[in-house]
Structure 1
Amino acid sequence: MASHRKSRPTGPRVAGIRTPALATAALTSVALLSQTANATPSDDRPTLEEVEKKVDDLYRQAGSATEKYNAAKEKTTKQRKKVDTLLDDVAQRTQKLNDAREELGSFASAQYRTGASVPETATLLLADSPQDYFDQNQLMNRLTGRQKTAVDDYVTQQSETMKKRREATESLETLTDSQTDLKSAKSTVQKKLATARELLSELTAEEKARLAAIERKKQEEAERKAAELAKQQAAQEDAERKRREEAAQQQESGSGSSGTSGGTGSSDSSGSSTPGTSTGTKAEKAIAFARAQIGKPYVWGATGPGSYDCSGLTQAAWKAAGVTLPRVTYDQVNAGTTVSVSQAQPGDLVFFYDDISHVGLYIGDGMMIHAPKPGAYVREESIFYDGESSIYSVVRPA
């Protein structure tokens, strides 16, 4: 017998009630919305401290990439000048080679018209094949001095021109590599800065206010450390002045009984124990120039006069004092005598971080003038602005 039971309608049950597919979809949407509403919005969102650290790291990485960009740009500029010089040289040599070839051609024409001989080397150059050359060689007569000189000049010019062409080709390849490095470094800087700006743009007004408060606290701590360094340096100067006065008094009292003050005078002649000193006038000129740039924007890769990056500012400042510094921090750090932080004098260069990606110009009392980072302006700031451990070294320009 056929079954009289009705078939069960399709669709899931909800609380024991059968629901059609459309209702199921609606209920699913409600459930998802409910879960979304109950979820914590900040589950995957970084904390303010994490954002601050990430932004600082990105700016620091961008600074390092900027110095690499500067180095690649400088290399590209030098290589382009070298290539242009080589190409000009090749063009001139090629013209001379063509002139020499025309002169040799006139010798060949004379040979065919009059049966006169041409220089042996010219015969080799004009022969269709080595065998043809040897066939003609037995007919050679004594060369004239002018013909011999013309052939020798041609051979020499041909060899030198080929050498210069190879050199120009290699330089062009190096230039291409430098340009690739330049583009890569530029792209890296732009990506780091874009990421930092994006992170900052996502902060709420309250978070931005808190971040500003954190920055103010860091600045206060940096200024406190700068004041401590200023006191320490002042104490060292007082001690050094007293030492000199005492040495001078001893020298005066000893000179009456003996004709020489011996080791005391020699010891005092060295002056301060600080190795090397910045020429006062030059350091003052460098600082005066840097002060005049305060308020101008940081722009990566810039060397003035409207904007600067960190090494562009220090280079320009010391250039105003008549001292030429390399372009990038990696080279500037080797452009003088390294001294301790406690021995820093106005005009010295203060380098930061293990990758030597930042530099400022020391102005005394624990303070410096520097171009900090994108979005900021040239300003005076404590050398401890990012903590004492961030200082890599202090260098007194030669």
Structure 2
Amino acid sequence: MAAHRRPRRRLGGGGTAARTAVTVTLAGAAGAAGLSGTGHADPQQTPAQVRAQVDKLYQEAEVATEKYNGAKEKADAAEQRLEDLRDEVARKEDRLNATRETLGSVAAAQYRGGGLDPALQLALSSDPDRYLEGAEFVQRVGSRQTAAVGRARKELRDVEQLRGAARIERAALVSRQAELKKHRKTVTDKLDAARRLLSGLTAEERAPRAATRSAGAREVLSASAEAPNSRAAAAVAYAYQKLGSPYVWGATGPNAFDCSGLTQAAYRSAGVALPRTTYAQIGAGRRVSRSELAPGDLVFFYSGISHVGIYVGNGQMIHAPNPSAPVRLAPVDEMPFAGAARVV
């Protein structure tokens, strides 16, 4: 069937949205600041106040990032459905053409014999409406021809139905792409504002507090050993391996991540499929209380469930914080706790 596949067509750039996303890291922010003389922080503000504003902008950007991730997932699914519909239309058209060729052979024989049956005239017509309205003529031909004409009628109906479904799916895709564009702009605007604020601080003032890879490495064995099962242990081990990886919004690895991209990749490495977004991931497992936390549990933050990390034991998690810091080890109480889920 692959021979009937039509060339894939991308509509409106939806398939490349993630590749065109603007990525911002602390290093990038500092470099941009060095090239621009605008956007300095208010001199009346203390570095702590500026960092608080930046943190707020990062949190707002992460809310928009999760909305972008959800819209991207739906747009990708819509695009795949559209491609599948186009492939099915191509296959149905091939079958319809084969049936019409068979009827054409019969018609040629009838013509040589002195006339063309009206049912075959309709079956070979280029006007589908006229053809479908002429079903009563099918009764005038023999049983073999009747079956062939009936098959052609069904195949033509199938083609028209699939074309209608494809039109609906294309409209849905265009709508999803518009939603993607809106969320992408929100994310980039928030990150640009954060970068402008950071440009008014010295490198020392804006340096993030980050856990080191060696600190994480000292705890990986004990945390993995305490995990409730081998898949949770594998997810924790993956997260430790990614310490120091850059935060890139919309990224799911293997070299860069956003928060839900990291947890999704960690469990994917353990053979478990997680949804793409934080607000879907919290429903992907059994809810557990903070006092019940075990290594491998997903921990969620903020009232809108806009951030997630993977718990590794001893009150610590590994997460992809925001563009100011790479994947790192951090206390669970670093942000407002919203809930936890045990995936496996």
Say whether the fold is shared (TM-score over 0.5).
yes
- SS of equivalent to 1:359: strand
2:162 matches 1:164: yes
1:98 to 1:379, Cα distance in 2 relative to 1, 3 A: same
Partner Cα separation in structure 2 for residue 98 and residue 46 of structure 1: 76
Equivalent in the alignment of 1:287: 236
Equivalent in 332, 335, 339 of residue 383 of structure 1: 332
Q: Could you tell which deviates more after superposition, 67-76 or 369-378?
A: 67-76
- How many residues are treated as equivalent by the alignment? 284
Partner Cα separation in structure 2 for residue 158 and residue 71 of structure 1: 37
Equivalent in 180, 199, 203 of residue 197 of structure 2: 199
| Structure 1 residue 146: Cα displacement | 2.4
2:298 matches 1:349: yes
Are the aligned partners of 2:71 and 2:180 in contact in 1 as well (CA < 8 Å)?
yes
What is the letter of the counterpart of residue 87 of structure 2? D
Equivalent in the alignment of 1:395: 341
Please say which structure displays the higher CA radius of gyration.
1
Gap runs ≥5 in structure 2:
1-39, 212-225
**Cα deviation code 1:206-232 (max 9, x no counterpart):** xx76677xx87xx9xxxxxxxxxxxxx
- SS of equivalent to 1:318: helix
Superposition TM-score, scaled by structure 2 size: 0.74
Partner Cα separation in structure 1 for residue 330 and residue 264 of structure 2: 18
Equivalent in the alignment of 1:274: none
| Structure 1 residue 50: Cα displacement | 4.5
Q: Could you tell which deviates more after superposition, 156-165 or 50-59?
A: 50-59
What is the letter of the counterpart of residue 66 of structure 2? E
Partner Cα separation in structure 2 for residue 322 and residue 209 of structure 1: 41
Partner Cα separation in structure 2 for residue 304 and residue 321 of structure 1: 14
Partner Cα separation in structure 2 for residue 102 and residue 188 of structure 1: 55
| Structure 1 residue 123: Cα displacement | 4.4
2:147 matches 1:149: yes
Equivalent in 255, 261, 281 of residue 312 of structure 1: 261
- SS of equivalent to 1:392: strand
1:396 to 1:141, Cα distance in 2 relative to 1, 3 A: closer
Equivalent in the alignment of 2:221: none
| Structure 1 residue 83: Cα displacement | 1.2
1:154 to 1:59, Cα distance in 2 relative to 1, 3 A: same
Equivalent in the alignment of 2:313: 364
Partner Cα separation in structure 2 for residue 350 and residue 60 of structure 1: 16
| Structure 1 residue 349: Cα displacement | 0.6
Equivalent in the alignment of 2:99: 100
Partner Cα separation in structure 1 for residue 115 and residue 227 of structure 2: 76
**Cα deviation code 1:250-290 (max 9, x no counterpart):** xxxxxxxxxxxxxxxxxxxxxxxxxxx97422221111111
Superposition TM-score, scaled by structure 1 size: 0.64
Equivalent in the alignment of 1:75: 74
Give the share of equivalent positions with the same residue, in percent.
43
| Structure 1 residue 326: Cα displacement | 0.9
| Structure 1 residue 183: Cα displacement | 2.1
**Cα deviation code 1:129-153 (max 9, x no counterpart):** 98xx99x96xx99633321121011
| Structure 1 residue 358: Cα displacement | 0.5
| Structure 1 residue 397: Cα displacement | 0.9
Q: How does 1:1-398 map to 2 (within 5 A)?
A: 47-48=45-46, 50-116=49-115, 118=117, 121-125=119-123, 143-203=141-201, 205=202, 279-386=228-335, 390-398=336-344
1:168 to 1:141, Cα distance in 2 relative to 1, 3 A: closer
Gap runs ≥5 in structure 1:
1-41, 220-276
| Structure 1 residue 368: Cα displacement | 0.4
**Cα deviation code 1:11-64 (max 9, x no counterpart):** xxxxxxxxxxxxxxxxxxxxxxxxxxxxxxx9x766335533321111001111
- SS of equivalent to 2:333: coil
Partner Cα separation in structure 1 for residue 233 and residue 111 of structure 2: 79
- SS of equivalent to 1:384: helix
| Structure 1 residue 350: Cα displacement | 0.5
Q: Could you tell which deviates more after superposition, 175-184 or 57-66?
A: 175-184
Partner Cα separation in structure 2 for residue 345 and residue 362 of structure 1: 7
| Structure 1 residue 365: Cα displacement | 1.4
